[in-house]
Structure formats: C-alpha cells, structure tokens
Chain A
Amino acid sequence: MTSKLTVRSFFVMALLGLLGLAFWALAANYTPDAELNRTAAYYAANTAEETGAQNIVSAIIVTYRGLDTLGEVTVLFLTAAIVALVLSQSKAPRGGSGSGFLPSGELLTTGTQMLVPIIMLFGAYVFVNGHLTPGGGFQGGAILASGILLLLLAEPSRRFGHALIGRIESLSGVVYVALGIAGIVFAGGFLDNRILGLGSFGSILSAGAIPLIYILIGLKVGAEFSSILESLEETEDA
C-alpha cells in the first residue's frame, strides 16, 4: 500500500516537474513583440476600412474568421443536443408543483421580477452593439441565458416552450448560413459582410451584415444555453 502510494506520488511529482519545466521554458523565453506581426498589422490597418466595424475584434470574429465562428456555434449546438439526448432518457412524469423543490424565497422571486427584464435588455444591447462596443453574440447570448437561469431558479416548476426555443435556435442557424452563402453570391466570399452597405462608421446600422450576424449568433447561443439549462432542470431520474 505504502510503496504503491510512493510510486504514484513519484509519478505525480515527475509529471508536475515536467509541466513546470515546459511552462518555465515558455515564460523564460518570452519577450514582448516590438511590433504587430503581419496578420495583426493587416487587421489593425485595414479592418475599419474594409468592414466598417468600430470593434476590430468583432470584425475579425464575424468576418475574417467567420467560418471558425460558425464552427464554434455548431460545437455548442452539438453540446446542447447531446445534453438533451442523454437527459431525455431519464425524463420522469412530474406534477405541476415540482418534486421535492423547496419554494424559492420572496427575495429571490421579487428580485427576479425586477432584474430579468434588465438582464434580457442588457443581453440584447450587447449583441446588437457587437460591432461598436466590446462584446458580441456569444457574450450577449450568455447574458440572455443567465436571465433564463434566474427565472428557472426563482420558479423551479416553470416550463418554457421547448418548441419555441428550438425554433429560434434552428431559424437563426439557417439564416446565419444563408447570410454566409449570400456573401459568396453578392460579395467577396463566404460570410463577407459587404452584402449590405457599410453605412457611416460608428453608427448602429453600419458594418454591413455584422450586426445582423451577431444578433443571430446571440439568439442561437442564448437558445442553446437555455435549452441545456432547461433539460437539466426539467428531467429527473426515476
């Protein structure tokens, strides 16, 4: 028993030492770049002119690296689908009152009623202004989902429309891909944002399709997170 333990802790120590060595080598050789590398310099110089977006990060995520973003959203969709699939095996019929839930307190219920509209509004603000201010579809979607989370916490027996969330999710996914294909047809390539006019720099209706795509991403991400939370909330092992 003791010899097994020491062998195990020896291996743990050796692994930790190796990891430490690797990170030490990384940290010791680190020198800050004196100038931006070629890609970054290109983005910094040309993003505002080419995409009309004030927030360069958003422009890179949605336009230059739009395909990667589509991939990320797809990964999130797969996660939500798998969570729902696994948990649907354990769905048990349940009364309207919820089984074994403690009633949430007065404080939480009242606070939720006050805060949820503000949280939802803030989430929408974050993804609608994704091309102007920090934030965007993913952040806004996560904020929307935390509003839903608060609703679920305050009222555990509450049921949301699965069909509605599913429809929002799939509709925004389809329109997202359709906008990407419209980019091939009407502009320079897949997910090119110049299918719409670039507008005046810094106004809310500018940067071509970026606000539109970010709204779709926000709705999609919010719906996916909400459906994960809901499947966790609404199923119960028999």
Chain B
Amino acid sequence: MTALAILAAAGFGLAILGAAFVALRTRSTPVAVLAAGLVSLFASVVFLILAAPDVAMTEAAIGSGLTTFLFFYVLGRIRRESANDQ
C-alpha cells in the first residue's frame, strides 16, 4: 500500500468522523439523514482504497443509496400524517 493510499484513507476516515459528528449534532433531521448518507459514501471510498471493491459496492448501493432514501420516505410520511391530523 502506497503512502498516497494511506494518506487518502486517513483523510476519508477524518471526513467520516466529521460527517458523523454533523449527523449527531445538527438540529435539522434532513441534514442529519444526508450526513449519515455521507458517512456511508466516504466509507465506501475507504473500502475501495483498502482493496475491497465488493464491500464498497454494497456500502454505496445500500448504505448511502437505499437507506438514505428510506429515511426520507419515512420522514415524508410522518410529515404528511401529522399534517392530516391537524
């Protein structure tokens, strides 16, 4: 593994920590969901750098794609239903 790859992996690792921090601390739910999706996206890049393309594909498709939109679906449903109740 070259020094460049280690550097890139470390940088993306820091970015994961940053995105996770944003997801935990932000007050707005959509921003938190997007930040959690960003964690998965960065994680899939790290998997790619660490020579695990199979895991990277799964993480990108399920972690950052489907899960993020699943959250938004449920969020939209909660909003519609609380709007119907009022």
| A225 in contact (CB, < 8 A) | yes
With A142-B65, A146-B65, A237-B81 known as contacts, the answer to whether A229 contacts B57 (CB < 8 A) is no
**CA gap between A228 and B62 in the complex, in Å:** 13
Instruction: Output the nearest chain B residue to A123 by Cβ-Cβ distance.
Output: B61
Instruction: Output the nearest chain B residue to A55 by Cβ-Cβ distance.
Output: B54
Contacts A/B (CB < 8 Å), 15 sampled = A55-B54, A100-B84, A126-B57, A134-B53, A134-B54, A134-B57, A135-B53, A139-B54, A142-B65, A146-B65, A228-B70, A229-B66, A229-B70, A236-B77, A236-B81
Inter-subunit contact A232/B77 (CB<8 Å)? yes
Inter-subunit contact A100/B80 (CB<8 Å)? yes
**CA gap between A233 and B80 in the complex, in Å:** 12
Contacts of A126 in B (CB 8 A): 57
Contacts of A142 in B (CB 8 A): 58, 61-62, 65-66
Q: Which bucket holds chain B's interface residue count?
A: 10 to 19
Checking B58, B77, B84 against A138 with a beta-carbon cut-off of 8 angstroms, the contacting residue is: B58
Inter-subunit contact B83/A143 (CB<8 Å)? no
| CB 8 Å contact bits of A130-159 with B (1 = contact, 0 = none) | 000011101100110110010001000000
Do most interface residues of chain B lie in helix, strand or loop, or is the interface mixed?
Answer: helix
| CB 8 Å contact bits of B51-67 with A (1 = contact, 0 = none) | 00110111001100110
Contacts of B21 in A (CB 8 A): none
With A100-B84, A136-B54, A139-B54 known as contacts, the answer to whether A232 contacts B73 (CB < 8 A) is yes
| A57 in contact (CB, < 8 A) | yes
Contacts of B74 in A (CB 8 A): 232
**CA gap between A233 and B69 in the complex, in Å:** 11
Instruction: Output the nearest chain B residue to A100 by Cβ-Cβ distance.
Output: B80
Contacts of A149 in B (CB 8 A): 65-66, 69
For residue B34, give the distance in angstroms from its CB to the closest CB of chain A. 15
Inter-subunit contact A146/B61 (CB<8 Å)? yes
Instruction: Output the nearest chain A residue to B48 by Cβ-Cβ distance.
Output: A134
**CA gap between A209 and B57 in the complex, in Å:** 23
Contacts of B62 in A (CB 8 A): 142
Contacts of A136 in B (CB 8 A): 54
With A142-B61, A143-B61 known as contacts, the answer to whether A100 contacts B69 (CB < 8 A) is no
